[in-house]
Amino acid sequence: MKKTVIIYGSSTGTCQSIAETIASKLGAETVDVANLDEQTIKDNDNLILGTSTWGAGELQDDWYNGITILKRVGLSGKTVAIFGCGDSESYSDTFCGGMKELYDAAKSAGAEVLEGVPTDGYSFDDSESVVDGIWVGLALDDVNEDDKTEKRIDTWLESIKSHL
């Protein structure tokens, strides 16, 4: 595996905890997007970007500056994978919507963005983060479906490891 960093935005700690779980499984470091700098992007071949979802499907607040940094540095030659956290019961119509903003930003910055996971087994009404029946990353509901989180992470990592 090439040098990989997990960059996350978390307001309540859920996304941070998931980022740390992913990092421990990959032997990678985590960086809170609030502390992101250009050198972190330059020093890593693979970026795994994670966000919680707020309001009507928005990114976690610290990501807005983070996206500016991603675009300024550029992601050409980088591989990006995305994960998102949300609440599929209370926010069923915007579940994990924040992932789409990360996906769009990474694509426009020139990254190769890895495909997400199928929507099978998820309970939600709608999400901007579903494109052609596939999530743009790994969607997680650690609030209502915490019993599925570990398996979903493991299955996703198995599917992307060969690209990292």
Condensed to tens digits (0 to 9), the pLDDT of residues 23-74 reads: 999 999 999 999 999 999 999 999 999 999 888 888 999 999 999 999 999 9
Mention every residue, 6+ apart, whose C-beta is less than 8 A from residue 129.
Answer: 84, 95, 96, 97, 98, 99, 100, 103, 116, 135, 136, 137, 139
- Among 48, 35, 14, 73, smallest CA distance to 156 is for 48
pLDDT beyond 90 at 106: yes
Q: pTM for this structure?
A: 0.96
Percent of the chain predicted with pLDDT > 70: 100
Sorted by sequence, the CB contacts under 8 Å of residue 116 that are 6+ apart come out as 82, 99, 129, 134, 135, 136, 137, 138, 139
Q: Could you identify the residue written with the tokens 């926010």?
A: 91
35 exposure class (CB count in 10 Å sphere: 0-12, 13-18, 19+): exposed
Among the listed residues 10, 84, 7, the one whose alpha carbon sits nearest the alpha carbon of residue 46: 7
> Tens of pLDDT along 108-124?
999 999 999 999 999 99
Q: How many CB atoms lie within 10 A of CB 73?
A: 17
1 pLDDT above the threshold of 90: no
**Phi then psi dihedrals of residue 27, to 5 deg:** 70, 35
**43, 2 in Cβ contact below 8 A?**
no
Quote the DSSP letter at residue 116.
Answer: -
**Strand partners of residue 48:** 6, 81
